[in-house]
Amino acid sequence: MSMSLDEWIWQHEESFPSRTTDAKRLLESVLARLESENWFPHDIFGVHLALEEALVNAVKHGNKFDEAKRVHFIVRLSPEKLYVQVRDEGPGFKLEEVPDCTEDENLEKCSGRGIMLMKNFMTFVEYNDSGNMVTMEKARKRS
């Protein structure tokens, strides 16, 4: 589902050093924009959890807090959906190798929870083949 550029009402692209402070600043700007467009609080909450996971994963797991490595962030907002892409400069990971955090033997492990949150709160979640980029979309609810 790609849209022509003139349908986006807001766009922002930025590459930032692997610091959680920069990730937090970007997260807050996206959430503020959703609020200003009168998105439902429940949807903003879901986007908050999913986007925070994606950004923190890129800084912490992907780039290992190496400030020489950057996190590449793209956000686009249309009247109907939010599109987000987060890419780090790390080696990536294999999605199929992350334990399913809903299985009994994995309930105590931290690994995999963020991926589950993203899938539950976003309409669409996809990783690139090398596993260092996630693309997410959230369809806007109207009622």
Pair of tokens at residue 28: 């807050």
What ranges make up the beta strands (E) of 50-115?
Answer: 70-77, 81-87
Confidence of residue 49 (pLDDT cuts 50, 70, 90): very high
> What's the pLDDT at 115?
87
3-state DSSP call for residue 104?
helix
| In a domain? residue 60 | yes
| In a domain? residue 81 | yes
Provide the percentage of residues in the chain whose pLDDT is more than 90.
76
| In a domain? residue 25 | yes
- pLDDT tens for each residue of 116-140: 889 999 999 999 999 999 999 999 9
Q: Which stretch of DSSP H or E encloses residue 54?
A: helix 41-57
CA–CA separation, 107 vs 1, rounded Å? 35
- Enumerate helices (H) and strands (E) in the chain, giving the number of each: 3, 5
CA–CA separation, 91 vs 130, rounded Å? 7
> What's the pLDDT at 106?
54
| In a domain? residue 2 | no
Which domain covers residue 81, as residue numbers? 8-139
pLDDT at 107 over 70: no
| In a domain? residue 70 | yes
Mean pLDDT calculated for residue range 34-42: 97
CATH code of the domain containing 35: 3.30.565.10
Q: In the chain, how many domains are there?
A: 1
Confidence of residue 102 (pLDDT cuts 50, 70, 90): low
| In a domain? residue 3 | no
112-118's contacts with Cβ under 8 Å and 24+ in sequence apart are 114/53, 114/54, 114/56, 114/57, 115/53, 117/49, 117/50, 117/53, 118/50, 118/53, 118/54
> What's the pLDDT at 55?
97
| In a domain? residue 127 | yes
| In a domain? residue 64 | yes
CA dihedral 24→61→131→43, nearest 10 degrees, is -30
Mean pLDDT calculated for residue range 31-49: 97
Confidence of residue 96 (pLDDT cuts 50, 70, 90): confident
**Model's pTM, two decimal places?**
0.90
